[in-house]
Amino acid sequence: MARTDHRNPTVAGLRPRSKLVHGGIRRSSFDETCEALYQTSGYVYGSAEEAEFAFANDGTRHVYSRFRNPTTAMFEDRLAEYEGAAWAYATASGMAAVHGAVMSALRAGDRVVAPRSLFISCYWIVKELCPRFGVEAVFVDGTDLAAWEEALSKPAKVVFLETPSNPGLEVVDLQAVCDLAHKAGAVVVADNAFATPVLQRPMEFGADVVIYSATKHIDGQGRCLGGVILAKDGKYGSEVIHPFLRHTGPTIAPFNAWLLLKSMETLELRVQAQSASALQVAQFLEGHPKVAQVLYPTLASHPQHDLARRQMTGGGTMLSVFLKGGKQEAFATLNGLRMVMISNNLGDSKSLITHPATTTHSKLSDEEKATARIEPGLLRLSVGLEDPQDIIEDLDRALAEA
């Protein structure tokens, strides 16, 4: 019987939270406790024959950090273990992950189907970039199954979706859309940035590829950009996605991968605490006289709360707040906050608030803003790790003074 390798123990059979602490580890001969940072672009060989062997037997060892790096591989393996994916590749940003996952699957003449409610750069990739290369982009109302059914009644190559979406918090029925997509011959690429792997596992509902902006909750402490592409099928990852990434080079820096690897240890604790606080904040805001509507996936007032509760184990850290007073009141509220910071980032340990219409979504046309409900009174709030009572008091005071 093989002896347990106590330096690099297997995490199979451990519970998810334990996998976040021990998954993917590759200890060196120095027996370090903390994961090592391999700050190297290349690798050396003991002989010409060794180099020849390495190139002839792809994947047997590290040859260049655009292809693989030991620190990056620890991060990729840790997240893949947690997500239940067979394959993972870390990228320099979330958008590099979206680009790689979508474009690696497409050829001229293909169709891509996506909901209208998407993060602005994701929308740009589908709407602007895909058609430049002869790919037809079809947009649907992501909450309307009949619209999905119609769009997927013809063959398609990729379905790209976000659920919940940024910042509309629209929830897409993962199981139903994945079934329709597969019948149409499409791979489903799910951007799980808002839900995080802690609260939603799109692959369990049929998604083939999951991507993250690791900049958001995975780092969660505002330190670096990063992204990840995960594939359910290892062959699809290594044969379709990997060649595209290997030759186009959206690789993450080892130092950023190391930060993200260490952040994984606290991911579940942070996201669960932030999600619990977000629900409290959403409940407070819902009753506020200056608030027209609060969108939070698991609140009974969310139009798809049943679906959200079926596919998510918590509502997440993000909420959309529609103020009655429009832009002026929205700005006055932001300017009156003392602890919650004005920022366009999200998923941070610090609570962050955004006015999407004038920042993240300012480039949309008026019509596009209207369909995505980027209204003048909309605020997007990312709930952090502070005491929820302080977040509520800060908002209460700022709203009262606005």
Where do contacts with ligand PLP occur on this chain (CB under 6 A)?
Answer: 93-95, 98, 119, 121-122, 162, 166, 191, 193-194, 213, 215-216, 225, 227
Least distance in Å: CB of 120 to ligand PLP? 9
- Residue 41 · residue 65 · CB < 8 Å: yes
Least distance in Å: CB of 317 to ligand PLP? 11
Structure tokens at 93: 């940003």
CA–CA dist 114, 98 (Å, integer): 13
Of 65 and 166, the one with the shorter C-beta distance to ligand PLP is: 166
Least distance in Å: CB of 96 to ligand PLP? 7
Residue closest to ligand PLP (Cβ): 94
Task: Output the CA–CA distances (angstroms, integers) from residue 59 to 54, 78, 133, 167, 335, in the order listed.
Answer: 8, 18, 31, 40, 53
Beta bridge partners of residue 191, listed in sequence order: 162, 211
Of 98 and 285, the one with the shorter C-beta distance to ligand PLP is: 98
Least distance in Å: CB of 195 to ligand PLP? 10
Alpha-helical runs (H) found in 290-387: 305-311, 326-336, 366-371
Least distance in Å: CB of 320 to ligand PLP? 13
Least distance in Å: CB of 191 to ligand PLP? 5
Of 169 and 402, the one with the shorter C-beta distance to ligand PLP is: 169
Q: What b-and-e string marks burial along 85-95, b requiring 16 or more CB atoms within 10 Å of the CB?
A: bbbbbbbbbbb
Of 191 and 375, the one with the shorter C-beta distance to ligand PLP is: 191
Of 82 and 212, the one with the shorter C-beta distance to ligand PLP is: 212
φ and ψ of 16, to 5 deg: -50, -45
Task: Output the CA–CA distances (angstroms, integers) from residue 227 to 94, 130, 157, 215, 370, in the order listed.
Answer: 4, 20, 23, 7, 30
Of 291 and 353, the one with the shorter C-beta distance to ligand PLP is: 353
